[in-house]
Amino acid sequence: MVRLNRIYTRTGDDGTTGLGTGERLPKHHLRIAAYGTVDELSSTLGLLVAEGLEGVILERVRAIQNDLFDVGADLCMPGEGGDKLRIQPLYIERLEKWIDEVNEGLEPLTSFVLPGGTKAAAWLHVGRTVCRRAERLVSELAAVEAGRVNAEVLHYLNRLSDLLFVLARQANENGALDVLWSPGKTQE
């Protein structure tokens, strides 16, 4: 159980931060950047929630925010999981189910979508790009620290960016407000 009765500890004043293992790393370490970006994604989704989301999209975004804390906890505990909280395939399976449900109501695309439309869709696109950055950082971390990153974290972030994309289309009146990319339009 997490208990925060004191917000500042002064232990990070030397430019380091502690992992769940007790190990201390520089605040600029790739692992810290990875789970910091996951935290940034959750905060970005918080801005989306502040726009007044309701219904199923709100429930899903709140569930994702909770998952993102699980992702951060996983990344904060390098190495074998043991009894520690770890992202498992069921997280990814749930995202895939949601993607399929949302995508079923959308027209197939004929080009890439330019981010924008409704405020909710725009925030979902920002979330998608932050998610992709987190995914790149976790991918790099997995390459640098072989065996010390749960592969399911990478799977989760990959699938989550796909979900955020289809949710953005859904928030754009099921794609009706999507603006499609016109390759080379300026050259016409």
Burial 1-25 (b: 16+ CB within 10 A, else e): eeeeeeeeeeeeeeeebebeeeeee
Alpha-carbon distance of 109 to 104, in angstroms, equals 12
8 Å CB contact between 126 and 44: yes
Q: What is the reported pTM?
A: 0.92
- Position 74 scores a pLDDT of 95
Say whether 91 sits in a helix, a strand or coil.
Answer: helix
Q: Which helix (H) or strand (E) holds 179?
A: strand 179-180
More confident position, 120 or 16: 120
Alpha-carbon distance of 40 to 65, in angstroms, equals 11
Give the confidence band of 164 by pLDDT, cuts at 50, 70, 90: very high
Say whether 125 sits in a helix, a strand or coil.
Answer: helix
**Domains along the chain?**
26-174 (1.20.1200.10)
Query: What angle (nearest 5°) sits at the alpha carbon of residue 27, between those of residues 21 and 29?
Result: 80
As given in the structure block, the two tokens for residue 106 are: 């959308």
Helix pair angle (151-171, 55-75), 10° resolution: 160
At 53-94, the pLDDT tens digits run: 889 999 999 999 999 999 999 999 887 655 678 999 999 999
Mean pLDDT of the chain, nearest integer: 91
- Position 112 scores a pLDDT of 95
At 130-152, the pLDDT tens digits run: 999 999 999 999 999 999 999 99
